[in-house]
Structure 1
Amino acid sequence: MKAQIIQSFGDPSVFERKEIPKPEVQPGQVLIQVKATSVNPIDTKVRGGAVPALSPELPAVLHGDVAGIVTEVGTGVTNFKPGDEVFGCAGGFKGTSGALAEFMLADAQLLAHKPKNLSMEEAAALPLVSITAWESLFTRGQLKAGQKILIHAATGGVGHVAIQLAKWAGAQVFATGSSKEKLDIATQLGADVGINYREESVQDYLQKYTDGKGFDIVFDTVGGENLDRSFEAAAINGTVLSIATRSTHDLSILHAKGLSLHVTFMLLKILDKDQRKLHGEILSKIAETVEEGKLRPLIDPTTFTFDEVSKAHQYMESQKAIGKIVLKNNW
């Protein structure tokens, strides 16, 4: 089968198209005819060699997000059959093979039936970011109706999903962005208020929208100095959720305000076979939410084919994308 592989870690030019053996289905697994995938920041980090603990052995096929059609099922698989349309974040990391190929072998526990009202490309945009947002908001944050939540990076991969899920859950949603265009998108997705962080300081918008008390929950999808701003924006006894916490911070403000900090790193469940079923369960709930019309992916208008994966990674690293970058299998 055709595949985009890397034989060394490096810049986006390391991808090369090769013919490799088609994988054979194993117990508990399904073989997927890949129709589409999407790029996540972790995919560029793996390609660049920045996360050796997560990296597959070389030569490797990368990318976790997949949407496609089941062609074979292994023994013990009862929830999928050949011909089923599925989606998931199912490989491209240590001990697994990725989606940048004609076929992908995946643990059935990591998959769910594709939402009927989405195209393959739309479905491929959702798995990693929707699982991350769901686990952060509901498993970690215990978000409840009526709470005030601040979500940073409104049009980012995780941010745009979190806005919709928080609104679906009945929260009052505030979202930050760097331009009117991005804030307009945020309100179209369901945010009650868009905040331009380049024009308003944390104290400015705390005073304006919370009488200076702060937000019940702050979801930081940016990291770095923005995590400090998230601590500042949280109310006393509030909760801060983070997906980017590889940095050093003064945590005294957490003590002073009695804050809780929760970190979500969804890839850990892919590496731990005993927890994989939790991803499939979340994706089934995500699919229901999509089919109810309460969630849709935000996809950047610049799309790519599998033969253009190097360009897709360059575009991701340019930080010019709004929403998700998707790739269609052109083989």
Structure 2
Amino acid sequence: HRRQRTMVGRREQATIVTLFTTLSASAAFTIGCGNLFLPVRVPNSLTVPSKQSTRGPFGSISFSSQPRADLRLCTARESEAEDMSEKKVSTKEAARLLEDEEYIGLSLEVAKLVRQSLGDALRDAAEATGTTLGTAADISVEADTKIKRAIADLRGKEQYELGDLSAALDEICKDEISRITGKDEYELGDLSLELNRRVLAAAARFCGKEEGEYEPGDITLAIDRRVKDSINSFTGQDEYSFGDVTQEIERRRAQWVKKYTGNEGEYQFGDITKRTLANYLGSDDYEFGDLTKRAVSSFTGKDEYKFGDITRTIAGKLFGKQGGEK
């Protein structure tokens, strides 16, 4: 039952709103349906009694031309909202005008730069073509005329015709291939045959053969032979055997160690370190601790170290000579 009443009320509201929506607003009235009051606007030509009731299919509907407080409140709030919206619109319009002004100024500056650059380019192009033309179209026409004239001269003709450029390039290529191959007239495949002949001749020279004697696999054999010759030259042997390179490297390393340490006998662990320290200390008779003694002596300024020398030296540097003595 409640659901049915709700549906009925909604239908009556829809009927009333549909009735008055198409009318222009000039006078304010309230339409009451039970406890529901709707503020609406109706034209002056519509005559409505001060208070009238009518019965519809879903109950009685009352019309009243008396103004209500909620209608006046609604009108005041609408006015305030309209004022706020007008202020927001004014602020947005002002910001949009500033942005448009900045964009227009930037566009003018860019257009000025483009116009100036285009003028410089046209002037340079006119100087390059030897004309006094001032537009891009004129320069293009002049360049096209000169190119066609050059192609016609290349073909030995007075006027350029369509296809002369391709024919001229074809003749140039054929003449160059004939010069490379040494033939009077070009034949199809001459370039490939000439390239193949030159590659085989270079491979034959690399392998130590005469031109025309190259056979497949000669390059691999020549590379293998040259690598073995390099290894034999490094090891000092006539024929290469597996491990010769490693043995030669070890022999040369031992020879360098003996030369560096000055010890002709067998190498012992630590010989390189001793020689390095001896060269640093300037004494061949190096003993363990010499490096430390030299460092302490350079710090304390004494030839022989005694217990407490380092502490006294540090105290003397911090507190002066008197502190060092104490």
> Which category of TM-score, normalised to the shorter sequence, fits these structures?
under 0.3
- Structure having the larger proportion of residues in strand: 1
TM-score (norm 2): 0.15
Flag the structure with more relative contact order, 1 or 2, with Cα contacts below 8 A and sequence separation at least 6: 1
Q: Point out the structure with max Rg over C-alpha.
A: 2
